[in-house]
Amino acid sequence: MRGVPTHPIRAVIFDLDGTLVDTAGEIALALERTFTELGLPVLPQAAVVDLIGRGIQALMRRALQQSGAAAESAFEPALARFEAHYADVVATSATLFPGVREGIESLAANSVPMAVVTNKLRWFSERLLERLQLAERFVALVAGDDGLARKPDGAMLRAACNAMGTRVEETVMLGDSANDVLAARHAGCPVWCVPYGYNEGRPVASLACDRVVDSVREAAELILAG
């Protein structure tokens, strides 16, 4: 822990992939289908996990580099195929991490405003939240194609605070990666991290966050305890 903020926490911003939802299997499957069609070596799921967190475009660029197809001309066709395959599989097998539903329901029952900020495209994000029956719990969803500078920039977090009507210094970012920590620092939010998500293979202890919590449920308990 690096110094818990002195301001009371009145609202929460959640990252999506790796914090609320385990989406690695679906992403790996869509990437496998894409690379199979393109005749490229398929990456193991463990390698794909380390690519998640900066949005689909960054994932695809790095996946192509790892497969040996680093030419820029390969990027757009691969991205288009991936998005089509991901549209087929999104929210078909993704699951909430342990403690997520309980934590969110507890915060909602106590009228704590909540938002999701993700570099994922809006359509995919909405599909996940709707199929996992979480969409109605959030005041706002700020997605990667909303026209704002993406995380690690702080613009998306500030937009979420504006939508919730909360002050950034009283809104905690709960994420799983360096991207989330940097975005929170740029926005002026306190930031907590879970240890189970997608952090490009880095341990959560390497993140300069304010607190590590075992689950969303634990985060909710701490927030409600004041």
Catalytic residue annotation:
15
The burial of 206, by beta-carbon neighbours within 10 Å (0-12 exposed, 13-18 middle, 19 or more buried), is given as exposed
197: three-class secondary structure by DSSP: coil
CA 194, CA 20: separation in Å to the nearest integer?
10
Q: Which residue type occupies 168?
A: V
Close Cβ partners of 177 (under 8 Å, ≥ 6 residues apart)? 15, 18, 53, 193, 197, 198, 199, 200, 207
Judge contact between 175 and 181, C-beta under 8 A.
Answer: yes
